[in-house]
Amino acid sequence: MSYPVIALASSSPRRRELLTQLGVSFSLVKADIDESVQHAEAPAHYVQRLAEQKARAGLSRLAQPMPVLGADTIVVLDNQILGKPADFAEFSRTMQLLSGRCHQVMTAVALLDQRRSLSVLVSTEVCFRPLSTEDISRYWQSGEPQDKAGGYGIQGLGGRFVQRINGSYSSVVGLPLCETEQLLQNWQEQA
């Protein structure tokens, strides 16, 4: 099945690589949005709202009409969203929370145009081994954690902390391949 040519509303190189694996033709579009959590907003609602807002922001910038794909990934522990660490102290606290425990990584994907919208939410359980203060310090010094939700990248050096996952590996990286492909197929079938 061939997919529609789409716009990807993301600056993530990982999402670009994953979308390329599906054989989708896409262009990039900027989608700057306010990523603040609203008062008492549940993590699942938050990540779905951001994916849709990114897609809508991308749609508003297009010169020609086409579907826009927006996605967002968050790390959740005890129903709390663990964001991108602002500094080493915040990163260290986050890693201490994740150490020896399981958490959820939620990725929402929204595909929309002026007429319709489809979306999916994928939640994956990720379990970390216990981390030493040296593990945490050395990982921070690598430079990898600074722009990552929850302070780690499973596809990079942070993968060595992961004992097991239950769910979609590609979703933890930033775009669930199986579910995104299904979304694109559903889009084509409804055209």
Cite the active site residues.
72
Q: Per-residue confidence at 1, pLDDT binned at 50, 70, 90? A: low
Helix, strand, coil tally for the chain in percent (to 5): 40, 25, 35
Least confident residue range of 8-12, 155-159, 180-184, 187-191: 187-191
Are the C-beta atoms of residues 43 and 61 closer than 8 Å to each other? no
13-21 and 177-190 are packed helices; what angle lies between their axes, rounded to 10 degrees? 60
Q: Per-residue confidence at 3, pLDDT binned at 50, 70, 90? A: confident
Average pLDDT of the residues in 130-150: 95
Are the C-beta atoms of residues 124 and 162 closer than 8 Å to each other? no
Tokens (6 digits) for 47: 């990540």
Q: pLDDT higher for 1 or 37?
A: 37
Average pLDDT of the residues in 7-13: 92
Domains contained in the chain, CATH given: 6-190 (3.90.950.10)
Query: What are the pLDDT digits (tens) for 85-100?
Result: 999 999 999 999 999 9
**The residue type at 51:** A
